[in-house]
Amino acid sequence: MQLEKVILAVITVERDKIATGGAPVFYATDKEEQEKIAIYLARITEGVVHDLENGVYILVKH
Amino acid sequence: MRSSGDALKNNRIVKIGAIDVSLFQDILKIESFIQATACGVIIGTLTRYYLLRRDYRQYPSYPHGVLANMALGFIASVIGAVAVPALAEKEYTAVTVLALAATQFREVRNLERTMLLNLDSMQLVRRGPEYIEGIARVFEARNYLVMLTALLVGGVTYWGSILYSIPVALITIFISCQLMKGKEIGQIAKVREGKVYFKGPNLFVEDIHFMNLGTEQVKNAYLERALGVVIEPLDDNGRTTLANLGQRMAIAHDAAALLGIYRDADTAEFTPVVRRNLDTGRVALVIVPIEKDIEFLLEAVKRVPVLESALRMPLLNPIGRKASD
């Protein structure tokens, strides 16, 4: 089976919510920076940003 | 002596007369043969042109694609037109060409399918394989329609008169257009506007959840520009048809093709999406168009063809009928 949806990156303001994982993790100091990093990464990777509503954004390639 | 000479003379005249008559008959026969074939070919080719204009919306490449299909339509009408006179002349081998042609036209379907699938990967909103299969099937079927038209016109001209060929052609084209006219979404479902809103990061159109979208920038773009359409199936047949993913891709593609789409390769979040409410079977479309005009969007969605491969009729079966209450 081929995986079609992949988490490309994790962008978080909550350091303790993230353990190690397959995807690179980007730490942001505040919500504003998190937004900015997320938009940049989304444009670069052609992925879509999803909000897990716990201070963590994930970037997914669909 | 004299009488036998007269007889010889008379005989010769009679013979010459016979030759003349049969020659005349032959010329007549050839003439009606040519007439029948020519009528069939001309009307068959014109039919192909007429049918080609009708599917212009689905058509990817204009001048060259048209020429390629006109050429195939011409070949189909030659084969169809020759068939009846050939049968009448007891030239049965000529008719076997019909069978050969059928395999050739199956290739047309493969050709169209491969081409459209290759082009599809470059589109911002894809047609999807089901829609493409439907288009390819139409291209194949239309060549058979042309062959049938040419065959009927050829036959009528051969046995009747050239005067009959035009009414017969018109009737055949009319009947074939009626028969080949598929259903549209507007006939199997009610299409109306739906409100687009966010609950937290989750995008909804009425009660149907679409997706989770992260950034404020994207959310604001949606709230400002997006349009929502709710498609309510009229019965269980419609519900099953709309559940098909290929059908839903076709709806998104046609809506985006007609109203434009506010996205580029690097903004995947603006891809139009069609999602389904599991409880009611309703589906909804959310799209961020260039032209924000709900009236035309509803019209565009209503006119999306119901794909042959997506069409399901559970209500035709007693089990499906009983299960539906």
The answer for residues whose C-beta is within 8 angstroms of residue A48's C-beta and 6 or more apart is A42, A59, A60, A61, A62, B211, B213, B214, B268, B269
Taking contacts as CB-CB distances below 8 angstroms, the residues of chain B near A51 are 200-201, 212-215
Tell me, what's the ipTM? 0.88
The Cα–Cα gap between B229 and B192 comes to 6
The Cα–Cα gap between B186 and B231 comes to 9
Quick check: B213 and A49 CB within 8 A?
yes
Q: Which of B15, B40, B158, B152 is nearest to B89 (CA)?
A: B158
SS3 B287: strand
Quick check: A51 and B213 CB within 8 A?
yes
**Longest pairwise C-alpha distance within chain B:** 123
Instruction: Tell me what the pLDDT averaged over chain B comes to.
Output: 86
Taking contacts as CB-CB distances below 8 angstroms, the residues of chain A near B265 are 46
- pLDDT of A22 > 90? The answer is no
Of B213, B265, B267, the CB nearest to A50: B213
Q: Which two tokens stand for residue B280?
A: 């009611």
Q: Which two tokens stand for residue B197?
A: 């809103």
Quick check: A51 and B212 CB within 8 A?
yes
Least confident of A16-25, B11-20, B65-74, B291-300: B11-20
> Best residue in A51, A58, A60 to probe B by mutation, most B CBs within 10 Å?
A51
Mean pLDDT computed over B144-158: 90
The answer for residues whose C-beta is within 8 angstroms of residue B99's C-beta and 6 or more apart is none
Q: In this structure, what DSSP letter does residue B305 have? A: B
Interior CA angle at B19 toward B14 and B24, to 5°? 125
Quick check: A42 and B266 CB within 8 A?
yes
Quick check: A48 and B215 CB within 8 A?
no
Taking contacts as CB-CB distances below 8 angstroms, the residues of chain A near B215 are 35, 38-39, 42, 49, 51, 57
Mean pLDDT computed over B24-42: 82
- pLDDT of B208 > 70? The answer is yes
Mean pLDDT computed over B141-145: 88
Q: Which two tokens stand for residue B144?
A: 């058979």
Least confident of A28-42, B94-108, B113-127, B201-215: B94-108
> Best residue in B211, B212, B219 to probe A by mutation, most A CBs within 10 Å?
B212
Taking contacts as CB-CB distances below 8 angstroms, the residues of chain A near B249 are none
Centre a 10 Å sphere on the Cβ of residue B141 and count the other Cβ atoms it contains.
Answer: 16
Centre a 10 Å sphere on the Cβ of residue B262 and count the other Cβ atoms it contains.
Answer: 20
Nearest Cα of chain B lies from the Cα of A53 at a distance, in angstroms, of: 8
- Going by pLDDT thresholds of 50, 70 and 90, the confidence category of residue B30 is confident
- pLDDT of B195 > 50? The answer is yes
| B56-83 confidence digits (pLDDT tens) | 555 656 677 788 888 989 999 998 888 8
Taking contacts as CB-CB distances below 8 angstroms, the residues of chain B near A43 are 266-267
* B243 or B20, greater pLDDT: B243
Q: Which residues of B274-283 are buried (b: 16+ CB within 10 A; e: fewer)?
A: bbbbeeebbb
- pLDDT of B169 > 60? The answer is yes
Of B201, B216, B266, the CB nearest to A53: B201
Taking contacts as CB-CB distances below 8 angstroms, the residues of chain B near A49 are 213-215, 218, 269
The Cα–Cα gap between B38 and B153 comes to 10
Q: Which of B265, B240, B243, B261 is nearest to B252 (CA)?
A: B261
The answer for residues whose C-beta is within 8 angstroms of residue B210's C-beta and 6 or more apart is B202, B203, B204, B273, B275, B284, B286
Interface of A with B (CB under 8 A): 35, 38-39, 42-44, 46-51, 53, 57-58, 62
The answer for residues whose C-beta is within 8 angstroms of residue B39's C-beta and 6 or more apart is B81, B153, B154, B157, B162, B165
The Cα–Cα gap between B160 and A51 comes to 75
Nearest Cα of chain A lies from the Cα of B202 at a distance, in angstroms, of: 9
Mean pLDDT computed over B219-238: 94
The Cα–Cα gap between B238 and B310 comes to 10
Q: Which of B268, B270, B259 is nearest to B296 (CA)?
A: B259
The Cα–Cα gap between B147 and B125 comes to 35
* pLDDT value of residue B213: 93
- pLDDT of B224 > 80? The answer is yes
Quick check: B268 and A53 CB within 8 A?
no
- Going by pLDDT thresholds of 50, 70 and 90, the confidence category of residue B54 is low
The answer for residues whose C-beta is within 8 angstroms of residue B319's C-beta and 6 or more apart is none
- pLDDT of B300 > 90? The answer is yes
- Going by pLDDT thresholds of 50, 70 and 90, the confidence category of residue B1 is very low
> Best residue in B198, B209, B215, B286 to probe A by mutation, most A CBs within 10 Å?
B215
Of A35, A53, A62, the CB nearest to B215: A35
SS3 B33: helix
Domain ranges of chain B: 2-180, 185-324
